[in-house]
Structure 1
Amino acid sequence: MGQEREQRPVGVRRRTLLLGAAAGAGALALGTDALATRAEAAPTFIRGADVSWLPQMEAQGYYWNNSSGVRQDLFTILKGYGVTAVSLRTWVNPSSDPANGHCGIEETARLAQRARDAGMQVLIGFHFGDTWNSVGVQNPPAAWTGMTYSRMLDAMYDYVYHSCNVIKYYGVTPAWVKIGNETNSGICRPIGGVGHPDQMTGLLNAAYDMSKQVFPNTPVLVHLAQPQNLTSIQNFLNAYGGNGGKWDITGLSSYAQGGNVPGVLANMQTIQSSYGKPVMQVEYGGPVGKATQVRNSLRAFTTGLQGFGGLGTFFWEPEGYPSFNGYNSSAWDETSRRPTAALDGFLNV
């Protein structure tokens, strides 16, 4: 297993890419365009859920009932709501903290294999950190701290190539790979911050290229947060695209509710038309105590995205009970262990 993952040293991988870049640029562009075209033409809207906490919760004895109060495997329950895909995050060297750690590549690969066996498509999401990176926080892994840009570029090539080969070893071909998490301000700051667009682009392109080396037909997403703030997203995409950044799908996080949804959908449509890449809502959720509101807003997003060719919506950690993670965003009632009305937003839309 280890030999399969480390069969080519970093320098060889980089040199192969660099020598082939000029000859293959046209083919790569055509391939990317073809992927985007196929995605836009796809008839099936993706209904998904991030369930990265599942193994840690099960290890602590948590379980889930279906709407009839019968205990079932989480994937089975989700499939009953039309969910056909899961999003799984991965961290570089995480701690053992149940809520803020785990999700190393081996654990993520095992969960991806389980999802595949349940008939689910899988989105693999790289955070490029040891724990949460988000719109306000983009810290590199501890092992990368203090690296020069050149050394960090090598580390990125090696990490993504290795990680994708671990996923492949477990027999999973992801439907999507996400490079970074809510990267409005860049990645691995300060080296890869948006204020250093050439370095930011170099790091993300390294991740893109290594994903394609292992999974050539898997679309790669960049991921940005808060589409209500259109300027922040445009700043990133202009910097990234202007420096030769490569991506196939624009992933977006939005937890908007009620009357805020139409404006966010309008901005999502603008992002899709402006940059020529289909959009996917890779995070959505809402308060567990406002299930009807969350359901109606999910329904509005699902309908609205389909209206302009958006690819899908992922509910973020619907199985997460507040007693486990301290969050108030969930689609399960912790007392009855039954799903709330929130997930009904996926039905008949």
Structure 2
Amino acid sequence: MKKCFYPFLVFLLLISCTTNDNDRQAEPESIEFYKGMDLSFLPEIESDGVVFKDENSQDIVDNYAYLKSRGVNLVRIRLWINNTSGLYNLNFVKNQALKAKAQDMDFLLDFHYSDTWADPGSQDIPIVWATQNITSMTESIKNYSQNVLQELVLQDTPPAIVQIGNETNNGMLWPLGQIYSSGGENWDNYIQLTKAAIEGVLLASPESQIMIHHAGIEGADYFYEQLVFHNVNFDIAGLSYYPWWHNNDIDFIENQLQSFAIGISQKIMIVETAYPFTLNWDDNTNNIVGLQDQLIASYPATQVGQRTFMLRIHNMMKNLPNDKGLGYCYWAPDWVAHHTGSSSQTSGSSWENLALFNFNYEANTALEIYELN
């Protein structure tokens, strides 16, 4: 017995010695293929009295329950630090997390680390950190991230996925955490801030998966190579894909994605995407998409075209090499133009023709894609 047991002990020791902090690619068994939606706008739209309708034009009583019944299994919610309007603060996120949990849907927390929108063109430092240097800001982002996750853990809604910054192609918390400037390329501060934020998250919620978000698939390989080179501890490469911003040759994009999947060890999710069901409009707000040349040539701006696009996204992610595809998340499926309360005043939406509900608030046929395995 002893002769058999000793080699086994040596084997276990060898295995443990080859494991390090960067080996977080093996997610918990409960993780599945995600078919998600960013529902950050939903509470505002519901409070204005909008009643969405299902595929049979019947009123939807509980939007979360309805979307769960159609196959949505992940809800993404953005978090701003201290917007003057009070929007998207921690209490807002906590309330949405509870709604997701009530429907047994996983929750993706989208840290913007700003008081407002953070994206490739804007990564404003929140006012509360405005005078800090890189040392104090590193401590602040760690403590803030840990405190947010502790609040969510205390109400038993830890996020399945935590996104460290939003579309951080050029870093975050500018100018301190900016990667590219007139002086060239500097990753040090961005890496330092990102590692601190991750540390804070994992101190409070060690089971949460860490996502780093890049807008667009082109150029993503170099971005994530830098993260790996600098030993950033993350699990998921989150990508945005909007044809009008990130190349409307979807065959080219799929080839890029296939190559990217071969070269990265982490899972991949298209964490933001959308497509129009019409080029018409329902309000006086200019729409982001309104021209034929913004579309994919063979995907018209119709409900059928929107559905076909989402089927392509579904299949692209399902068929990535080495089972790398973790899923997708539709951005703002609920951001419809609508009247505010009982008044005739319209709350405009530049996204109205990209929603998954039409101008009568009825469910589009693209929602059928969420019912696929």
Shorter-chain TM-score: which interval?
0.7 to 0.9
Q: Which one of 307, 332, 339 corresponds to residue 295 of structure 1? A: 307
1:242 is aligned to: 229
Q: Which one of 319, 326, 329 corresponds to residue 307 of structure 1? A: 319
Q: What TM-score, normalized to structure 1?
A: 0.84
Deviation at 1:42, TM superposition (A): 7.5
Percent identity of paired positions between Structure 1 and Structure 2: 24
Q: Is the 8 A contact 1:90 1:124 kept in 2?
A: yes
2:70 is aligned to: 81
Instruction: Check 1:241–1:43 CA distance in 2 against 1; reply closer, same or farther (3 A cut).
Output: closer
1:317 is aligned to: 332
Residue type at the aligned position of 2:141: M
Q: Is the 8 A contact 1:282 1:315 kept in 2?
A: yes
2:102 is aligned to: 117
SS in 1 for 2:146: helix
Q: How does 1:117-196 map to 2 (within 5 A)?
A: 117-194=102-179, 195-196=185-186
1:345 and 2:369 matched? yes
1:278 is aligned to: 267
Instruction: Check 1:234–1:43 CA distance in 2 against 1; reply closer, same or farther (3 A cut).
Output: closer
Residue type at the aligned position of 2:104: G
SS in 2 for 1:62: coil
Deviations 1:227-267 (A, max 9, x none): 1x22xx23422333322222111000112389622322222
Instruction: Check 1:312–1:114 CA distance in 2 against 1; reply closer, same or farther (3 A cut).
Output: same
Deviations 1:35-64 (A, max 9, x none): 42347x888421110001111111211221
Aligned-residue Cα RMSD (Å) equals 2.3
The 1-side partners of 2:132 and 2:19 are apart by 31
Q: What TM-score, normalized to structure 2?
A: 0.78
The structure whose residues are more often helix, as a share, is 1
2:350 is aligned to: 327
Bigger Cα displacement from structure 2, 237-246 vs 65-74: 237-246
Deviations 1:170-227 (A, max 9, x none): 2202111110111000011111112331110010011111111111111100000111
Instruction: Check 1:56–1:27 CA distance in 2 against 1; reply closer, same or farther (3 A cut).
Output: farther
Instruction: Check 1:60–1:241 CA distance in 2 against 1; reply closer, same or farther (3 A cut).
Output: same
Structure 1: where are the runs of 5+ without partners? Answer: 1-25
1:226 is aligned to: 216
1:51 and 2:39 matched? yes
SS in 2 for 1:131: coil
The 1-side partners of 2:39 and 2:249 are apart by 26
Instruction: Check 1:28–1:209 CA distance in 2 against 1; reply closer, same or farther (3 A cut).
Output: farther
Deviation at 1:143, TM superposition (A): 1.8
Instruction: Check 1:109–1:94 CA distance in 2 against 1; reply closer, same or farther (3 A cut).
Output: same
The 2-side partners of 1:272 and 1:212 are apart by 26
Residue type at the aligned position of 2:59: R
Larger-gyration structure (1/2): 2
Give the aligned length: 314
The 1-side partners of 2:274 and 2:18 are apart by 35
SS in 1 for 2:75: strand
Residue type at the aligned position of 1:347: E
Deviations 1:104-147 (A, max 9, x none): 01110111011101211100110111111112211121222232
